[in-house]
Amino acid sequence: MIFENLLVKTTNNITTITINRPTKLNALNRATIKELRSAFEQADTDKNTKVILITGSGEKAFVAGADIQEFANFSTEEGSKLAAEGQTLLFDFIANLSTPVIAAVNGFALGGGLELAMAAHFRIASDNAKMGLPEVSLGVIPGYGGTQRLPQLVGKGRAMEMIMTAGMIDAQKALEYGLVNHVTSQEELLSFAETIAQKIMKNSPVAIASAIKAINANFEDSVNGFHTEIKEFGSCFGTADFKEGTSAFLEKRKAAFPGV
**Active site residue ranges:** 115, 135
**65 near ligand COA, rule: CB under 6 A:** yes
**Residue 19 vs 66, nearer CB to ligand COA:** 66
**Residue 90 vs 206, nearer CB to ligand COA:** 90
**Residue 67 vs 241, nearer CB to ligand COA:** 67
**68 near ligand COA, rule: CB under 6 A:** yes
**62 near ligand COA, rule: CB under 6 A:** no
Measured distance CA(180)–CA(150) in Å, rounded? 11
Max intra-chain CA distance, the chain: 65
**25 near ligand COA, rule: CB under 6 A:** yes
**117 near ligand COA, rule: CB under 6 A:** no
**149 near ligand COA, rule: CB under 6 A:** no
Helix (H/G/I), strand (E/B), else coil: 37: helix
Instruction: List all residues 6 or more positions away from 87 whose beta carbon is below 8 Å from its beta carbon.
Output: 143, 144, 145
- φ/ψ of residue 87, rounded to 5: -60, -50
Helix (H/G/I), strand (E/B), else coil: 60: coil
Helix (H/G/I), strand (E/B), else coil: 103: strand
x/- string (CB under 6 A) for ligand COA, residues 80-109?
Answer: ----------------------------x-
Helix (H/G/I), strand (E/B), else coil: 66: strand
Site residues, ligand COA (CB under 6 A):
24-25, 27, 64-69, 108, 110-112, 134-135, 138
